[in-house]
Each structure stands twice: as C-alpha cells, then as structure tokens.
C-alpha cells in the first residue's frame, strides 16, 4: 500500500494511492522567482475533492516536500 507516480511531465505531477486517492499538482504562473503550483487531493471512489491549495514553489525539492506533506497524511489512519 502506498503512493505511486502516475505521471510527471514537468508541468504536472500525479500520484495515485492504492486506497483510491489521487494527488495532482499542476504548474501555474511564474511570480517573483517562484512558480505557483496548485495541489489537489481527490477521493476517487466518491469523486470528492478533499483539498485544493496553491503554493509558491521555489524548486523541485520544494515541490516534493509539499507533496510529501499530503502523502504523509492521506489516507487517514
């Protein structure tokens, strides 16, 4: 059980969890040396969007740390 990368093309990242969660991040506008990324987590069994948040991301490592926050919390134990 865990998260698996579905795709990662530089403009979007999609991770899927065995227990039917989808974590999707997409690149937005560049602002002051940062890039806006919108992160969404969805329960694919119900289609319910659980969370959506936009972050100002400085680099790939920063994006990974934001995604890790979600994968550490979902699915709820």
pLDDT of res. 77: 76
Residue listed under structure tokens 């920063």? 62
Cβ neighbours for 14, distance < 8 A, ≥ 6 positions apart = 5, 6, 7, 8, 22, 23, 24, 25
The model's pTM is 0.89
Nearest-10 Cα torsion for 46, 51, 55, 57: -50
How far apart CA 77 and CA 60 sit, in angstroms, is: 28
Would you give per-residue pLDDT tens digits along the chain (77 residues)? 689 999 899 899 999 998 789 999 999 999 999 999 999 999 999 999 999 999 999 999 999 999 999 999 998 87
């Amino acid at each position: 059980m865990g998260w698996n990368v579905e795709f990662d093309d530089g403009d979007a990242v999609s991770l899927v969890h065995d227990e039917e969660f989808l974590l999707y991040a997409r690149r937005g506008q560049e602002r002051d040396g940062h890039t806006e990324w919108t992160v969404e987590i969805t329960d694919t069994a119900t289609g319910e969007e659980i969370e959506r948040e936009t972050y100002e991301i400085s680099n790939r490592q920063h994006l990974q740390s934001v995604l890790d926050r979600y994968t550490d919390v979902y699915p709820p134990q």
